[in-house]
Chains A and B, each alone.
With several copies, the nearest count.
Chain A
């Protein structure tokens, strides 16, 4: 299940949903990304996520399907927020449910790595003095590439 939304999400509610929907779950792996307090050494005031409506849903479905093809999963949840967020706010949620832990953990890791480089989002960070579009990190590309093996 994928969702692209402005509103916050609840890890707990999503876990409950997954557990209701699927039987025989043995492993639940989750990841939550959160807005940090700082940009380098400056205090961060806000982070605004711009996205490409339509393409976002398309890419999230693609990433989700890729995970389902690669691992033996029972269910997955991907929620990505957009709009203006404050330090401490949740940005993204990934949950993978499977019978055994390896599948849940690896697929959750995979999904967040692919979201970093393939999710059509752009982050604008505001500090007291200035605003910055966040550059993509070369490390994120390397993290993505490790899943090509």
Chain B
């Protein structure tokens, strides 16, 4: 699974994207966040308040409870500031 990070999330993690191998128990975005938070302190820090973090699945805005599959492209980013 390809996971992308933007803005201050990218800065805090020190990377803009990564490949993550997910197992069968990772069924939703929420599950993925738990997996990431268990990796190291950086992820724990980034995802400590998920109310300020938006997520997309395959470039469509998504919710934390939405299902994900291994070939999905997931992105985490703060609220958009276009225009």
Contact = CB atoms under 8 A, between A and B. Distances in A.
Direct contact of A and B (CB under 8 A): yes
Interface of A: 33, 50, 52, 54-55, 58, 80, 91-92, 101, 112-113, 115-124, 133-137, 140
Given A52-B59, A54-B59, A55-B75, A118 B80 contact: yes
Given A120-B80, A133-B7, 13 more contacts: A58-B59, A80-B82, A91-B83, A116-B81, A117-B79, A118-B61, A119-B80, A120-B6, A121-B82, A121-B83, A122-B81, A133-B8, A137-B81
Interface of B: 4, 6-8, 10-11, 56, 59-61, 75, 77-83
26 contacts: A33-B83, A50-B6, A52-B59, A52-B75, A55-B75, A80-B82, A80-B83, A92-B82, A92-B83, A112-B83, A113-B83, A115-B82, A116-B81, A117-B79, A118-B82, A120-B6, A120-B77, A122-B7, A122-B77, A133-B7, A134-B81, A135-B79, A135-B81, A136-B78, A136-B79, A136-B80
Per DSSP, chain B at the interface is: mixed
Nearest to A121: B82
Contact of A122 (B4, B56, B78): B78
Contacts of B56: 52, 55, 120
A52 B83 contact: no
Contacts of B80: 116-122, 136
Nearest to A132: B8
Nearest to A136: B79
A129 B59 CA distance: 35
